[in-house]
Structure 1
Amino acid sequence: MRAFTILSALAALSSAIAAPPVPSKASAYGDLTNGERLARGLPLKAPARRTKAARGSAASPVPSYTAKGHLLVRSAEDNRVLGYASNHGTVSSFITPDLDKALTLSVTLPVGATGGSQLNLAQVDSPNAFTSFGLVQDPFSTTTDISTGSSNFLYFSFTNDTPAGSSPQQPGNLPSDSYETALSSESAIWTIDIVSGTAFPTWINSDGMAATTQLFTQGRAFIAGGDPDAYYADYPANGGPITLTWVPAV
């Protein structure tokens, strides 16, 4: 009797191991289309959730608009108007008292915004092929960096675009063509507010850090550097500190 009981138990165990699992309704019907599920009287499958990444990839671009203006130059010492950035294509930008000869620039902003930083100022009416108005390395400076105690300086001039926040690049610029040497430049350097008139550049040094960027004149030309006193000590000239103001173009 004991042997019969053991054999019966072993047979039942063997049968249990060999029997395949019974599929659940979910696994049995999971691959059916909604049309097939309707034909069988089954509930429809829930709609698939879109992932956050999928939603982001389909996002529409932010709408933008373009504003045009001129750069008004004033003395930083007494706020006296000196003129406007000129539209004639030279190595460095000169100041003109004639509004008809003022350089026209454009800035692109998100709809609803009146300003921003690290912006490009596209040149509209200068007779050269370069896209933007920015800062270009002086060919006689020791490095592309500007700082306190250094007479290194930068030309305001025409350049092709460089990425926002980038260190000095060589995308092509007017001084490079004039001096027949590869000079570095930056275009996406501008902080602009078209309502308040705020307008100033910030140069990024070769280490990727924003440099204190001071603006001053050399005769009728206006330039930028890290230390006007050090500049005038090496390059004596009639000049002084200046500010720039965005003036809407009529």
Structure 2
Amino acid sequence: MDVFGSVADLYDTVRPGYPPEIAGEIVAYHGGTPASVAEIGAGTGKATTALARIGAPLTCIEPDPRMAALLAARHPGVRLHVSTFDQWSPPAGGVDVLACAMAWHWLDPATRNARARRALAPGGTLAVLGHRYDYTDPGQRAAIRSALHALDPTVRERPTDWFHQDIVDHGQFVDVRQEVFRRELPLDRQRYLDLVRTFGPYLSRSPEQQRAGLTVLGRLVDDFGGTVLLDLRTTLVLGRAGRRTGHAGRQRSDRA
């Protein structure tokens, strides 16, 4: 999960934050203000800003020291552990809320649900968040996806809100619910290319592939008139650490 450290400043500048309403959704689901909140893979603090609105003591777990340094500067009041989730030891009795924003996929698929369940106090709340970047204009979407496929046909996108299904399927949590927030995000050419430079699939490519990708995308944005309009979908999945006898997958309606 330390792949982003090399672009920590850029990540902090261009990655979008999270809707402030998320804090209220977590408190309402939990049944009141929790006694403690912990965040896995907190990065530079993009979701931390929203989680801090809960008003509970907040612990952030971030393995990359470069990302953690920016988080500490933005949120000096949090307790920061520069380590992985696997290395972190939850307090005795667990935490009331365990959150994870855009980092669930970096955790071991075989153990992340069970480990999260063990980190929570009885009746505690799991809150997993994620952004889904799409395009408002179908023409822009088709052109960009076609160009990226031509550069690397092996790239596959995860299904939309895949982590909701992952949590339901593993059966560690009960009363699993989903809230969806949407907003339009207009980006000029430079801002869009800077955002792409912070994505994991981009960072995992060779320098030659990175340059080729930015060149192709830059030309497309020029063809679009210099602006890309993103349809930013933010999903919040909530689950409760209940008895291990079953689970419910009730899903609430999307929010426009």
Q: Identify the structure with bigger relative contact order (alpha carbons < 8 Å, sequence gap 6+).
A: 2
Task: Please report the TM-score for the alignment, with normalisation by the length of structure 2.
Answer: 0.24
Q: Which has the larger radius of gyration?
A: 1
Higher strand share: 1
Task: Please report the TM-score for the alignment, with normalisation by the length of structure 1.
Answer: 0.24
Higher helix share: 2
